[in-house]
């Protein structure tokens, strides 16, 4: 029987490959590709089976814990960069009843999410220009998406704007010394844009958005030191609005 670590390494190899540094954002439209939506749904099916069987992966647990720690019963959540919508199932399974809305800029992702989770609401929109009024949701949840947004400053400001009190930036790749670094890679066989953030810069942007970091949790392995020359890791920031 395969260990959790072996399965995790296989999933990463299946989803991400051919990393290379780039000066400017490239392949920024890759996540709109219809094949990515199909392959993402297939890749995460095993993780969802484990979730349903009571053995969720660490990053899913971290996301749910961040929601529970808000202390809000049945919170309203908007997930920015929801992909095929699987975190709606993560929250309902691990965090209790929530009122969920998913946002993605990919029509294919939104269509897949609506098919898999017809009871939830999914909206096609850009993370830097969200179609909601100020303070529309208890929690703004940016899940696995900030790394793929060239205007990450605008995305952080928008997440803070639509949240009443809490913002969660989940599974963000960070380094401590190297500046924020742009890359391109293949995700599910398609060229996409990605970036790894300098921790200090990111925390400064949170401060600019009137957010206080209340908790930082390290998640699953994501070490790109062979490319970056420094150990990278995935962390989840739980922030409270000032």
pLDDT in tens, 64-106: 999 999 999 999 999 999 999 999 999 999 999 999 999 999 9
Whether residue 208 lies inside any domain: the answer is: yes
Whether residue 89 lies inside any domain: the answer is: yes
Whether residue 1 lies inside any domain: the answer is: no
How many domains, the chain? 1
Whether residue 112 lies inside any domain: the answer is: yes
Does the structure show a pLDDT above 70 at 9?
A: no
Q: Please tell me the distance from the alpha carbon of residue 97 to that of residue 195, in angstroms, as a whole number.
A: 33
CATH number of the structural domain spanning residue 119: 3.40.50.150
Q: Are 98 and 122 in contact (CB under 8 A)?
A: no
Alpha-carbon dihedral 17, 108, 113, 184, rounded to 10 degrees: 20
Domain that holds residue 32: 15-241
Q: Please tell me the distance from the alpha carbon of residue 163 to that of residue 199, in angstroms, as a whole number.
A: 22
Whether residue 179 lies inside any domain: the answer is: yes
H/E element, 114:
helix 107-116
Whether residue 3 lies inside any domain: the answer is: no
Whether residue 73 lies inside any domain: the answer is: yes
Whether residue 5 lies inside any domain: the answer is: no
Q: What angle do CA 80, 81, 83 make, to 5 degrees?
A: 135
Please give the average per-residue pLDDT across 201-224, as a whole number.
96
């Amino acid at each position: 029987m395969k260990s959790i670590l072996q399965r995790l390494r296989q999933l990463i190899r299946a989803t991400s490959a051919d990393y290379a540094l780039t000066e400017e954002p490239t392949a920024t439209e890759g996540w709109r590709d219809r094949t990515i939506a199909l392959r993402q749904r297939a890749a995460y099916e095993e993780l969802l089976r484990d979730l349903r069987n009571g053995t969720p992966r660490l990053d899913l647990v971290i996301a749910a814990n961040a929601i529970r720690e808000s202390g809000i019963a049945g919170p309203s959540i908007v997930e920015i960069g929801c992909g095929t919508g699987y975190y709606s199932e993560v929250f309902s399974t691990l965090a209790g009843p929530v009122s969920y809305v998913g946002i993605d800029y990919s029509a294919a992702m939104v269509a897949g999410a609506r098919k898999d989770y017809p009871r939830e609401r999914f909206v096609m929109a850009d993370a830097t220009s969200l179609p909601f009024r100020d303070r529309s949701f208890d929690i703004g949840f940016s899940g696995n998406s900030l790394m793929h947004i060239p205007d990450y400053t605008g995305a952080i400001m928008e997440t803070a704007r639509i949240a009443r009190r809490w913002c969660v930036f989940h599974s963000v790749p960070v380094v401590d010394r190297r500046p924020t670094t742009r890359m391109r890679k293949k995700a599910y066989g398609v060229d996409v844009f990605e970036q790894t953030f300098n921790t200090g810069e990111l925390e400064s942007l949170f401060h600019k958005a009137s957010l206080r970091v209340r908790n930082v949790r390290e998640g699953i392995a994501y070490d790109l030191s062979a490319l970056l020359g420094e150990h990278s890791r995935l962390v989840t920031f739980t922030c409270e609005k000032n």
